Amino acid sequence: MKFRRLPPLHTLEAFDAAARSLSFKRAAGELHLTPSAISHQIKSLEHFLGIDLFRRGNRTLELTDGGRAYLAVVRDTLTRLREGSGRVVQRYGRASLKISMGPYLASEIVVPALASFQEAHPDIDVRIETELRPIDLLQEDLDIALRFGRGQWPHLTAERLMTVAAVPVCTPALARQLRKTTPAQLGAVALIHSIPLPDGWQDWARGASVTLGAAASDIWLDSYLAILRAAEQGVGLAMGLVPMVNPWLRQKKLAMPWPQLRSELPQGYYLLHRKDDGERREVLLFRDWLQALLQRETVLD
Amino acid sequence: MKFRRLPPLHTLEAFDAAARSLSFKRAAGELHLTPSAISHQIKSLEHFLGIDLFRRGNRTLELTDGGRAYLAVVRDTLTRLREGSGRVVQRYGRASLKISMGPYLASEIVVPALASFQEAHPDIDVRIETELRPIDLLQEDLDIALRFGRGQWPHLTAERLMTVAAVPVCTPALARQLRKTTPAQLGAVALIHSIPLPDGWQDWARGASVTLGAAASDIWLDSYLAILRAAEQGVGLAMGLVPMVNPWLRQKKLAMPWPQLRSELPQGYYLLHRKDDGERREVLLFRDWLQALLQRETVLD
DNA sequence: CGCTCGGGTGATCTTAATTCATCCGAAGCA
DNA sequence: TGCTTCGGATGAATTAAGATCACCCGAGCG
C-alpha cells in the first residue's frame, strides 16, 4: 500500500557509491553496510527502472550506458539535496552540539582539528566539555559523549570509534635503557597508573604474555593526558594507548621500550548519543567527521 | 550503523504532500498512509534538520520560513529525480506492460483513456489482453491483471481499485414502466444474468432487502459488456455495476428503474501483480494512472 | 589445481516505519 | 455553556522493509 514513482533514496546512495568505486565491496565499506546489501539495493533499483545499471564482469564492474546516464541524474539529485538542505539549515537553523570527552582526546585530537569541521559546517555551534564524570547520563543537555569502555551503555546508541592497544611508553632516554631489560625487571623505574583504567598494567601484562616486576614506586594520576605528561617528564613508565599516543611518539616526546609488547584492550573508544538522535544531521555530520579524523590518525600509526 | 547526511526520501515526499495540501490528513490520503504516519515522518525530518517546517495552529497548518525555503529545495530535488529517471528510462529502457482485463473494462474505461497514459509515458509499451480465463496465474508473461473478486489471490499483491454496487438497469423506456412496480412483480420482463457473477441477482436482492419475483425468462451471458448490450437492446433487466455502468447511464443508453435499490457487493475490482513487481516503475505508474482514472469516473457518478 | 576474491541469491533476522489507540485543544453548534 | 467534531500529537504495538548470513558460482593467481 505504497506509492512511489520515485526509487528509494538509499538505493541512490548505494548506486552513487558503487559507481564511484566500481566495486560493491568498497561501496559497502563506505556506507558501512555489507556487499550483499549493496547488491540487493542495486538490484532493486535496476528492477524499479527496468534497466541494467552495471555490467557485471566476473570480478569487475562497469557501468552500462544507461547506468552512466542515470549516475549523472543521481549525482545531480543528491548534491542538490545535500547542498540545499545545508543552505536552508544554515539560514534558518540554530544547530548546536554539546559534546563531552576526556581532556586528552579534546586537547590532543579533536580541538586541533576542529577548525576543519567548523569550516565545513559553519551553521553548527560546537561546544566541547572535558569534564569526565564517571556517571554520565545523557539526561542532561549533552548531545554526544566520547567514552572509553566496552560498548555497553544501556538506552544509548554506542558506536565504536577505534580499537585501542596498550603499550608502555616513557622518555626516549629511558626507553633506550629499558630496551636492554624486560618488564619483569623494572629496577628503579616508577610505574604510572591511570585512575580511569585502573587495571591497565595487569591487563597489558596478561595480553602481552609477560610478567610484570615490582616497580620502584607507583604513581596514580587521574587523566590520560596527565599520565603522558608525567612520562614525558621522566617520572617513569606510562601505559600508552595506541593510536592516541601516536602524535607523542611521532614528535619524539615519548618512545616505546618494547614496541612489540603491545596488547589489544577489550575496551575501546565509543561515541554515545541518545537513540532518538540517530538521524540528527549535526550528530551524523560530527560522527562522520570524527571517524574520518581518527582514521587518518590511525593510519599514520 | 548507518550514515546519512541526507534525510530519508519518503519524508521528503510526505513533506511535499503536506506542504501542498497544508494538511496532514489530506497528505496521508494522497500517499495512501495514515495521518499519524505523516506526522511521524515530518517530525523526523524536522528532527533531522534541526528546524521546524510547519507551525501547527490547532486546526491549521502553515509553513515556517524555513519550511518554505526547504520546500523549494525538496520540490526541485523530487522533480529533477522524477524527470531524470523518466528521461533515462525512456532513452535506455524498453519497458513494457502486458495487462489482462475483462472486455468491458478494456473497451469502455481503459482503452478510451489510454492515450493519456501513452502520452505521459511514451517509453512504456502497453499491451492489453481481454481474454478473461478464470484460471489466471501470473506465471505467464503478464505483468498486471484486473480482476473482479474478493481480494484473495494467494502469492499475489492485490489492490482494491473500486468498491462496486449493484443496481438493476434497462432501457429508459422500460425503466419508466417498471418504476411503477416493484422487483417482486417483474411480470413479462426478462432477467439477464452474468456468468462471471452467477449469484448477482440474489446477492443484490439480499443486499437491497427486497424480494425478487420470478422473471418471464432468464438469459445468461458471459461478459459484462454483453449484458449491458442486451439490456440496451431492450432484452430485459440487467444487473448494472456502479461505477462501471455510469457512462451508459450518463449517455441515456440505460436507466435505473429503482435507483435507491442499490446494494454494495462484497466483491470489487482488484489490480493484481507479482509481489516482486511491487516497486517496478511501469507497474506503479500504471496503477497511479488507473486509480486517478477510476477516481474521476466514480466522482462523476 | 586448489585457493582466494568479488559478486549473486534466498532465507532469516533485525530494525525502522506504519498503524493503532488515545489524548488534546480549538472551533462549531445548539 | 456544554457537547461534539475535527485535525494533529504521541507512544506502544505491529508489520514490513532492509540488512545480514550462509551459501553458491566462476575467474584469476600462485
| pLDDT band at residue A129 under the 50/70/90 scheme | confident
Q: In the structure, how many helices (H) and strands (E) does chain A have?
A: 11, 10
CA neighbor of A107 nearest in space, from A7, A226, A284, A208 = A226
Determine the residue type at B111.
Answer: V
The answer to whether B262 CB sits below 7 Å from nucleic acid chain D is no
* Confidence grade of residue B298 (pLDDT, cut at 50, 70, 90): low
Is residue A234 exposed (0-12), middle (13-18) or buried (19+ Cβ within 10 Å)?
exposed
Name the pTM for this structure: 0.75
* DSSP H/E element including B70: helix B65-92
What are the tens digits of pLDDT across the range B238-271?
A: 999 888 888 889 889 999 999 988 888 888 888 9
Note whether A91 and A53 are within 8 A (CB): no
C-alpha torsion B28→B30→B33→B38, nearest 10: -40
Question: B interface mutation test: which of A13, A16, A31, A49 has the most B CBs within 10 A?
Answer: A49
d(CA B171, CA B94): 46
**How would you classify the pairing of strands B125-129 and B144-149?**
unpaired
Phi, psi at B163, each rounded to 5°: -90, 145
pLDDT at B260 (0 to 100): 87
Over the stretch A283-295, which tens digit does the pLDDT of each residue have?
A: 889 998 998 888 7
Residues in B closer than 8 angstroms to A278, CB to CB, are 2
Spell out the alpha helix ranges (H) of B138-190: 172-178
* C-beta neighbour count of B233 within 10 angstroms: 9
Q: In percent, how much of chain B has pLDDT > 70?
A: 94
Cβ within 8 Å of residue A170, ≥6 positions away: A178, A189, A231, A234, A236, A237, A238, A254, A255, A257
Three-state DSSP state, B146: strand
- The helix or strand, by DSSP H or E, that contains position A163, with its residue range, turns out to be strand A156-169
Q: Is the CB of residue B133 less than 8 Å away from at least one CB of chain A?
A: no
Handedness of CA B250, B251, B252, B256 (dihedral sign): negative
Contact A288 B65 (CB under 8 A): no
Is residue B202 packed enough to be buried (19+ CB in 10 Å), middle (13-18) or exposed (0-12)?
Answer: exposed
Secondary structure element (H or E) that encloses residue B249, with its range? helix B246-250
**Which pLDDT score, from 0 to 100, does residue A95 have?**
79
Q: Per the structure block, which three cell numbers stand in for A258?
A: 618494547
Q: How far apart, in whole angstroms, are the C-alpha atoms of residue B245 and residue A289?
A: 63
Render pLDDT for A19-44 as a digit per residue (tens, 0 to 9): 999 999 999 999 999 999 999 999 99
Q: How far apart are the first and last CA of chain A?
A: 52
Asked whether A235 and A163 are in contact (CB, 8 A), the reply is no
What pLDDT sits at residue B167?
Answer: 92
Within residues 58-87 of protein chain B, the ones with CB less than 7 A from nucleic strand D are 58-59, 61
In this prediction, residues A116-129 reach a mean pLDDT of 89
Calculate the average pLDDT of chain A. 87
How distant, in Å, are the alpha carbons of A2, B90, B98 from that of B153?
19, 33, 19
User: Quick check: B102 pLDDT over 90?
Assistant: no
Q: Which stretch, A103-107, A231-235, B179-183, B192-196, has highest mean pLDDT?
A: A231-235
Q: What's the pLDDT score for residue A38?
A: 96
Q: In this structure, are strands B156-169 and B263-274 parallel, antiparallel, or unpaired?
A: antiparallel
List beta partners, residue B126. B97
Q: Which of chain D's bases lie under 7 Å from a protein CB? A: 6-12, 17-22, 26-28
Indicate the pLDDT class of residue A9, thresholds 50, 70 and 90.
confident
Q: What pLDDT sits at residue B4?
A: 58
pLDDT in tens, B25-74: 999 999 999 999 999 999 999 999 989 999 998 788 999 999 999 999 99
Q: What span, in angstroms and rounded, lies between the C-alpha atoms of A5 and B12?
A: 13
Residue of B nearest to A6 (CA): B82
Residue to substitute from B9, B98, B271, interface A, most A β-carbons within 10 A: B9
